[in-house]
């Protein structure tokens, strides 16, 4: 199962939208409901899903799906 597919499940759950489709360009700027609280929920769910912990700097840099996917894939997931 690809990282993007697994992330999509997370975003659908966090935003309570089962039809939400994400891509690398899905970002804080393109989705008004994505605020700092949503980022915390996304990061916590991703850490659980991928069995990893992100650094504070990594979390601060997550502004899009591409940023999150790169952080996940950099750790081998």
Say whether pLDDT at 77 is over 80: no
> What is the signed CA dihedral for 42, 69, 73, 52, rounded to 10 degrees?
-10
* Model confidence at 1: pLDDT above 90: no
11-21 residue pLDDT tens: 999 999 999 99
Q: How confident is the model over 30-36, as a mean pLDDT?
A: 95
**Mean of all residue pLDDT scores within the chain:** 94
Structure-token pair, residue 49? 């899903």
CATH number for the region 3-74 comes to: 1.10.1200.10
Q: pLDDT class for 44, splitting at 50, 70, 90?
A: very high
Q: Among residues 47, 44, 50, 59, which one has the least CA distance to residue 1?
A: 50
């Amino acid at each position: 199962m690809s990282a993007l597919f697994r992330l999509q499940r997370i975003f659908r759950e966090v935003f309570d939208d089962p039809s939400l489709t994400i891509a690398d360009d899905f970002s804080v700027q393109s989705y008004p409901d994505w605020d700092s609280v949503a980022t915390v929920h996304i990061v916590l769910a991703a850490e659980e899903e991928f069995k990893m912990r992100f650094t504070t700097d990594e979390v601060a840099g997550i502004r899009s799906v591409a940023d999150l996917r790169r952080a996940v894939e950099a750790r081998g997931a």
